[in-house]
Structure 1
């Protein structure tokens, strides 16, 4: 790089992107950043290095703390037992699918079954530079003529079994020989060449037979008899009675088999499945197809949709798909005793949470290459979120659709995807969302994002670094909600999460140019800075101007509490839903992973919890339960105004929510009344009561910094809340209330659009009337349901988009507000 580089030599594209992240950057800062980018490895080098790291990660020692392999083996054994006992009288054929999103270790888990004494016949149909490499036999199975497909696949099974019968290798040695790696390419090629010779011989023999059904069955029965009689194999077979699985035929990345061929209107997959039907009962063999979930309906169809006449006429069952891969966090590192907040936010620890691919690839490089690898992984995460295949480089506002918007926003704000909609399977298949449940009819897919800080970082960078505006994303998100694909949540909770996330980003973006590319948004912020970004006020100064209490003891103590709180640290990169009421001990886990909490359904009092870590001895932030406190949030979307003191104090307390009966530290409660016509930030206060002697003693004890001792009854709970709770009330949804929504000189129009979309999002729901573009169709649709909708005419102003009184009333009734 030329040391005399000037600003005129910096490309306009780089300049525009850099100024977007740091508007007041100096020429020197821009040039330094450009030099740093130019010093990074070329894309070709990165591709080669990336593949090498993937291979090393795949071949690393397998970690199985949750006994996943035994779970898979138990499932296969159960399926084999069912096939043995009922065969084709109940089951179509002995196969299932192993389906899950990218990165969960599907191929690695199946490969590891060889260590459980299972003989694998592993055929990878991988295309391109992926890993495991494409098997040498794949073309023979992938390009076979349809009229010869069933016979070819039967011959393939027969050839594999005969080759195994002539072997004396252990299951591990067997797998190593025929699964292609850089070290075993010659052995792998030789192995499959032997299979190919046997396959062709068997095909020739089968081709001469007139009764194909009998000849196919006989060929496979004879092959299994030979295997069971092989003296060299007896010591390795798990169960000679074959009541368990001994042999597993694996078809990885086999989506190309699904292509329907015309005019036959069938596919090689259907022919493969028919070939599996000939596997005899009590043979101890099974087959599994590995793929992502978008293909689940094709690999494992519901019987009503199955194009196979055998399934239609005889109503055969299909074995349940496998998708529960308990590999989450297996690559994470345990937090050491005495760790601080600074320790856990290190990306080399933080990015290990979630699916194993992240930690495995970090372990694949040496310490001196870790920074480069972290950058590569964040780039991979961004690519995978938007669908891979180079789509990130082409991503712009024009190419953005509802699916991409949900994929990008999902890892950060906790979106719920409707299980029956097409987005569910597509997001799992191509956009990193995980499959949690498949219904028995395979028409419903419940999907979730686990806690994965690297995906949250990738999501933030796509929005802010690649300049995919939040306005564009929200437009598509509203469309997805109105179409019934995404749940909007209760009482504006989704809007509240977006606002809180915007405040966090506003804080972080002030110093973003000083941070490495792989970690621009995964940082903690001070509570005071967060409140300033959210409301435009420094909490300590604002509280002093608003707080007034006749009790002299509290008058001195509460400002000290706020002074302690504003020095606390908030650290969250995403919202995650939980199914239980957490305790202060759980808060450390949330903080360690950088998550804010969406409380369980019907949780008393609170909707969100944002953990706060208080300092100890100055600016030291140890990960200790005693330093944990909270920002508790409740969200309402009511249009009425009034006295919210009880809802903002009693109901928004740690005791009422069941989090902490006797809070040790001061905490903040935030009541967000988004639908209010009023606008402003208020301090809620409960009516002051005369303290009893016991209450006064307890208050003095708390104000002196001593833990509460005594009977915890309602009067004492009131005293604790009065001392430790800082109750805030935010009324309305406007730039006047939320500073993070205020416009800046160069994006005023964008900010106004953002505010308008958030207000739309408050009332977004699947209203079929709104989905009809034609005013005439909309009118007839409403007349079709006269009790649900107020009477409308084509000329009604509301049909043209005006918010008439009758339309507002109708929506209020539909929302139950």
Structure 2
């Protein structure tokens, strides 16, 4: 059986030089696209018929839709022509039409356009050619893989190509898709464009969800055939509107559950845009996301040995060491009635249990006290505590005695546990809420009330409590005596147990290293790095949501975490200092010194990792480790608006003026900004085609680009025609033709890397800022030399780009130090002697110049022939940097700690105050000085 999507019959031509205008189609709009089509397809056997066939496959009376589809296709062909026009001497249209006319095989096109090292480009070519050569098959089989498209293009006849799509040759998933398409046609016989509607459903929902939709639609159709007494005026219209809304606006229905009247308004809208305007405040699928997150909490707990057991051991030690004379009372405390209720309910539960193994008793406790996916409402334990509180008196003169009795009951009921100092662990999440004042007359904080309650518990009763929060304010409940306003002379200060922040969940979901080029770029693999949330969400979401939806939701969520807000700033001026540092932290990783207040804010609200809290709790250090989910979100956000990046750099400049960034870091920071911006621009110009399989889904601004395209962005020149220094022709060809880059953020390292390390950097999509005093280079990023037709990853294909940054132009030093910019001098052990690249930045230079790095007598000819190099003088040497951005970067380069510079935007009288208040620091006004 052949699966064919019906299309409108071919119409005749009434004019010699152009196709007939379809009914309802704007003649002028069609003429524009026809002329564009003719520009690329004059050499087709019958260009008019090809154009009309392609137009007809979208044939319903909506001129905007038809023209848009043709325009999108021709845009793709035009971009392709720019991409391959430099290869060979045969014109693009001759090769292109040769493929479409069956005069050239796909292999010959690969050879002529030199595409063997670029699978994404080959997929783009086959997609565009297949769509035009076989428009009906293309619409009927939108998920046709690249290999099958190539076979169809190389077929000698249409029948031979069509035979490739016989149902019996399809996979089980494809057969299922075909079956649902046929059901869809049967249930929607009057739709003007069933192909597009079905494709929208498949793009939005998993196939199982589409099947369920069709089941409900089929049931509705059967019900509608019943007598009017059973269906009609008395029928509930809600299911009808819900089904219609889901099919007419699948993306809107996925993202929300609107009421009946709002669904009707959306269905009555004349355009999709008009319907979308009815839903301005809910841009994403909150319900679906909540379901995925809830299910994720029931996944298997990983690495308990390194996460849970050390923390429990620490808490047990703390509980054993606590003495009221030396330590502040344990730091989570609850109202007396609530605490009494908890203790009694715990005792009631374990007293009621029959004799059974300890593990079984604890399993029952977990089921009783923790939320369960299969359970509606709160856990039974929570309800029991609420009910018990109702039976306890509001106040009691014997509160301490009641508390002791409850503790004795709890301890007795849990005697089956192994001997331990810890019997009951109370934990409060979001504990910073305890710092808000209560409604009492003296406005005491809840924290002080709670602490007084726990202070009544004898120290040997096995009760301990913890506060869990992301804000460092919870580490400062017990400040040093000289900072404590409540401290009284003569009283001994009491200690506070050290905060616990060492929770090693980072990278816990990381799978085995990638083995193929496709696996390397797979979003589902990359989402496993860093926070376990993203990996768990991906695992659960694959059964509930389409791959693109998962990636989009998680990237949006990552951006919200970085910005600390669900309301994304719309103007650069509204971007706060911590938000700006968070965006830069996840992309270029600036190192902040002595900025504990800022680090605290980054940890509590902007997804930074807490790395150190000193014993006095006065020093706090944060970091943004290598996590491509956050860096992809930040890159996408910054690449969309130059003003946002400028605002981030301004904040960095202000931070430098405060002395929180060292002077030696500035040039290197600027070079990282330049390199990341170049990657953003290169990615925007070389976006890959859509994935054919879920596992091929990629991250936004987290995919590979060719080294030659990156160099073209960096210099504005064709790399093949550019003098790259001492590298010989064979190595230059290998480096430019095979070199692939896969990184979108920098991470600071503390060692000298080798091939193994560079391979690991490639896996994470990371470039590196070298350790202090690293020989040779300040920055490095891996280059992978991808051989033709080889998708298996191999460490021997790793090489590098090393970057050296100087603040002054030093032409003589350039040649004198040339031998230092080699892997050998830098002590970087590469497995193979591959060609590599060196970039030299002299950012303060006045004269714009881009030149190769000369060699000297200390670098051998054998080493020199492997090195490609370029030296950039001045920010003006980078053509992709706009003027405003260059001016902002120069202010950062010139920044240094200065009180007066902190008042850069202050009024004149404030600046005058600073000058007068700092005698001798600033030059006297109107005093002439020799230069």
Confirm or deny a common fold (TM above 0.5). Answer: yes
Q: 2:705 aligns with which of 518, 525, 550?
A: 525
- In the TM superposition, 1:436-585 aligns within 5 A as 436-465=611-640, 469-484=644-659, 490-512=665-687, 514=689, 519-543=699-723, 558-566=728-736, 567-585=738-756
Rounded to whole Å, the distance in 2 between the matches of 1:308 and 1:441 is 18
Question: Counterpart in 1 of 2:590?
Answer: 415
Q: CA deviation at 1:604?
A: 2.0
User: In the TM superposition, what whole-angstrom CA distance separates every residue of 1:167-215 from its partner, at most 9, and x where no partner exists?
Assistant: 4373332233122344345672x433433454455545x6234xxxxx4
Question: Greater shift after overlay, 464-473 or 499-508?
Answer: 464-473
SS in 2 for 1:635: strand
Q: Work out whether residues 157 and 220 of structure 1, in 8 Å CA contact, stay in contact via their aligned partners in 2.
A: no
Q: 1:195 aligns with which of 385, 399, 410?
A: 385
Question: Counterpart in 2 of 1:43?
Answer: 255
Rounded to whole Å, the distance in 2 between the matches of 1:39 and 1:65 is 41
Q: CA deviation at 1:418?
A: 4.0
1:248 has 2:425 as partner: yes
Q: CA deviation at 1:782?
A: 4.8
Q: 1:571 to 1:543 in 2, by over 3 A?
A: same
Q: Work out whether residues 430 and 469 of structure 2, in 8 Å CA contact, stay in contact via their aligned partners in 1.
A: yes
Question: Counterpart in 1 of 2:364?
Answer: 173
Q: Work out whether residues 598 and 608 of structure 1, in 8 Å CA contact, stay in contact via their aligned partners in 2.
A: yes
Listed as ranges, the gaps of 5+ residues in structure 1 are: 97-140, 142-148, 210-214, 548-556, 689-714, 742-750, 798-803, 807-817
1:183 has 2:374 as partner: yes
SS in 2 for 1:391: coil
Rounded to whole Å, the distance in 1 between the matches of 2:296 and 2:436 is 32
Q: 1:176 to 1:313 in 2, by over 3 A?
A: farther
Normalising by structure 2, we get a TM-score of 0.65
Q: 2:550 aligns with which of 349, 373, 376?
A: 373
1:755 has 2:886 as partner: yes
- In the TM superposition, 1:83-102 aligns within 5 A as 83=322, 87-95=323-331
Q: CA deviation at 1:572?
A: 0.7
Question: Counterpart in 2 of 1:726?
Answer: 868
Rounded to whole Å, the distance in 1 between the matches of 2:256 and 2:664 is 45
Question: Counterpart in 2 of 1:234?
Answer: 415
Q: CA deviation at 1:447?
A: 0.6
Rounded to whole Å, the distance in 1 between the matches of 2:594 and 2:774 is 23
- In the TM superposition, 1:599-638 aligns within 5 A as 599-616=770-787, 618-620=788-790, 622-638=792-808
1:354 has 2:530 as partner: yes
Q: Work out whether residues 420 and 443 of structure 1, in 8 Å CA contact, stay in contact via their aligned partners in 2.
A: no
User: In the TM superposition, what whole-angstrom CA distance separates every residue of 1:788-813 from its partner, at most 9, and x where no partner exists?
Assistant: x45232x579xxxxxx997xxxxxxx
SS in 1 for 2:616: coil
Rounded to whole Å, the distance in 2 between the matches of 1:162 and 1:595 is 53
Q: Work out whether residues 662 and 720 of structure 1, in 8 Å CA contact, stay in contact via their aligned partners in 2.
A: no
Q: 1:191 to 1:687 in 2, by over 3 A?
A: closer
Q: CA deviation at 1:60?
A: 0.5
Q: Work out whether residues 809 and 873 of structure 2, in 8 Å CA contact, stay in contact via their aligned partners in 1.
A: no
1:792 has 2:792 as partner: no
Question: Counterpart in 1 of 2:357?
Answer: none
1:401 has 2:576 as partner: yes
Q: 2:822 aligns with which of 625, 636, 653?
A: 653
Q: Work out whether residues 839 and 869 of structure 2, in 8 Å CA contact, stay in contact via their aligned partners in 1.
A: yes
- In the TM superposition, 1:4-23 aligns within 5 A as none
Rounded to whole Å, the distance in 2 between the matches of 1:488 and 1:509 is 33
SS in 2 for 1:543: coil
Q: Work out whether residues 437 and 444 of structure 2, in 8 Å CA contact, stay in contact via their aligned partners in 1.
A: yes
Runs of 4+ in structure 1 off by over 6 angstroms are 8-11, 31-38, 307-312
Q: CA deviation at 1:784?
A: 5.7
Q: Work out whether residues 641 and 677 of structure 1, in 8 Å CA contact, stay in contact via their aligned partners in 2.
A: no
User: In the TM superposition, what whole-angstrom CA distance separates every residue of 1:685-718 from its partner, at most 9, and x where no partner exists?
Assistant: 2235xxxxxxxxxxxxxxxxxxxxxxxxxx8x74
Q: Work out whether residues 666 and 893 of structure 2, in 8 Å CA contact, stay in contact via their aligned partners in 1.
A: yes
Rounded to whole Å, the distance in 2 between the matches of 1:203 and 1:522 is 60
Q: CA deviation at 1:460?
A: 1.8
Q: 1:401 to 1:186 in 2, by over 3 A?
A: closer
SS in 2 for 1:289: strand
- In the TM superposition, 1:241-280 aligns within 5 A as 242-243=420-421, 245-261=422-438, 264-280=442-458
User: In the TM superposition, what whole-angstrom CA distance separates every residue of 1:515-553 from its partner, at most 9, and x where no partner exists?
Assistant: 589733111111111111111223332127x65xxxxxx
Q: 1:88 to 1:65 in 2, by over 3 A?
A: closer
Rounded to whole Å, the distance in 1 between the matches of 2:505 and 2:594 is 23
Q: CA deviation at 1:371?
A: 2.9
Q: 1:2 to 1:80 in 2, by over 3 A?
A: farther
Q: 1:155 aligns with which of 340, 359, 382?
A: 340
Q: CA deviation at 1:246?
A: 2.6
Q: CA deviation at 1:344?
A: 0.9
SS in 2 for 1:437: strand
1:739 has 2:879 as partner: yes
Question: Counterpart in 2 of 1:63?
Answer: 302
Question: Counterpart in 2 of 1:290?
Answer: 468
Larger RCO of the pair (alpha carbons < 8 Å, separation 6+):
1
Q: CA deviation at 1:370?
A: 3.0
Question: Counterpart in 2 of 1:77?
Answer: 316
Q: Work out whether residues 573 and 647 of structure 2, in 8 Å CA contact, stay in contact via their aligned partners in 1.
A: no
Rounded to whole Å, the distance in 2 between the matches of 1:9 and 1:397 is 38
Q: 1:684 aligns with which of 853, 860, 863?
A: 853
Rounded to whole Å, the distance in 1 between the matches of 2:884 and 2:460 is 66
SS in 2 for 1:155: helix
User: In the TM superposition, what whole-angstrom CA distance separates every residue of 1:758-814 from its partner, at most 9, and x where no partner exists?
Assistant: 111112233112123344554564566567x45232x579xxxxxx997xxxxxxxx
1:341 has 2:532 as partner: no
Question: Counterpart in 2 of 1:99?
Answer: none
Question: Counterpart in 2 of 1:764?
Answer: 895
Aligned residues: 664
Rounded to whole Å, the distance in 2 between the matches of 1:310 and 1:195 is 40
Q: CA deviation at 1:284?
A: 2.2
Q: Work out whether residues 177 and 187 of structure 1, in 8 Å CA contact, stay in contact via their aligned partners in 2.
A: no
Q: Work out whether residues 424 and 445 of structure 1, in 8 Å CA contact, stay in contact via their aligned partners in 2.
A: yes
Q: 1:255 to 1:351 in 2, by over 3 A?
A: same
Q: 1:309 to 1:499 in 2, by over 3 A?
A: same
SS in 2 for 1:170: helix
SS in 1 for 2:782: strand
SS in 2 for 1:472: helix
Q: CA deviation at 1:610?
A: 0.7
Q: Which entry has the higher C-alpha Rg, 1 or 2?
A: 2
SS in 1 for 2:723: helix
